[in-house]
Structure 1
């Protein structure tokens, strides 16, 4: 990333031993809270604190359009991106509901919507009016890909500086499951038909068409699987680049990255390709029903916390998982020890 030198600290492994020892003094049988205990340890390592804090969460929703929609790969027209962004700004989308539920800070960022948009609550950082149709030409230039990453990085820094203690990334962009599938096919070297799903609700015929479009686009573009900027420039999305940049900012500041579903996990893989250490700061919140998500999860090397059969995006899976993550921190900070409670510890 030319614009910003990233310096991500190493995870404090000593904190694991310290928190594990303390957790074993809490008024419960050892290991009885299962994965919640593992999560508490992971958060302590990330935050470099024996009593990590994750609230308030900061939510960044990046919105951008995709030229590949001209090939009929989505159930919805491109105009829905702009319409949904307005819904976000009016507080009516699912991510708004869940953001209010968890008391999160939320920002909506236009990084590439294919329409002029003005709203006092909209963060206007448009790189271009949507990507080009990557079946026929590169999605964007390398400079535009780097610019989008840098915008995401700065937006991540901004919300962290405003007090966000954890970061949830969301996205809106009609056609972005096609883009994410293309990126994942390049990164995994798997056949496209193993990775694609019905997205927002396409038919079986459209699914086969989507597969052929992605396969041909990869042949036409020939993105390098080891160059994240090349992948973004050739078959990527502006909102995916923005999310990746925000993840780098979070990792640099020891802020947990709460990774959402398929598209967000694809962005996480791009961020990991930019700086491998960023993955240490990622917590995978849920398992999407998008077929490619299992492959993306495997490449990321993380285990999802929940599986509710979701596929909405927007950061919704991460937002509804947030209370579980917060529970892990409260266990450490508020639970009594055997000594303080005057309870005998048989061990």
Structure 2
């Protein structure tokens, strides 16, 4: 037998308005915490939830945010993209919102504009998070005209279009990478290499270039966007394919943690001890077992960045206007672990 909001109010000894506020993330702060927990526990026991269709019609909101991300395959293949999506979903859940992946075609930049404009005009979403630089003038004009909420965000390895007049959240990895090189120099390392890809994650590659004296210190393999398993393999193979060059260095910084973990395994198979015979550092702070717990790495604060993105979107949606052109920066930080700690050079 189904129950109504009035039934819940009667059973909990409160008004129907109090029940309504408790179930609405935008208003539940108006209800005493103990009362709210009592109501939520009762609803959970009886599998009761608000009627989203009715609420959508009543307030003229979809309670959905569109994710503009042309590389949808990356979400399944990349740990970082998958984790960022999880954090977006978690943050949106606190506002009772969901996320909608727009069906974009990277081979046709115009399709990005068409899908974004269609989503706005059909009322499919209440706002956008953009992880791409492919938004064109047509879509931007439509957003501006309708005062549509949007925030752009750059993944730690990819450049993104910072759109004039809109809000932007970025992760600044440069201070953490500078600290990494300072850490290695303090340990006595003066022969430092970078291992990674020649034609993907170019923003990260160019960042490391700033701290290396010679282009010859870049140990690069060609690759497009790959999964974690491929990065592990590429890191492992690089040890054997480039050993005459690699063995000259006392420290190696890597494009990501998976690449670094593969490289560490290759070094072990060469009879080297990572962290003692050669320092190794990664990027992403990937949580994947014992090896990652050993790895010095750059930690991009994805969860904090996701929170900033969603807070910006919700404030725009509540105010029914686009935020001014401002950028919020969150800094990455260096996590020092065993893979560099015991590798000092005298």
Give the TM-score of the pair, scaled to structure 2: 0.23
Q: Which has the higher contact order (CA 8 A, sep 6+)?
A: 1
Report the structure number with the largest CA radius of gyration. 2
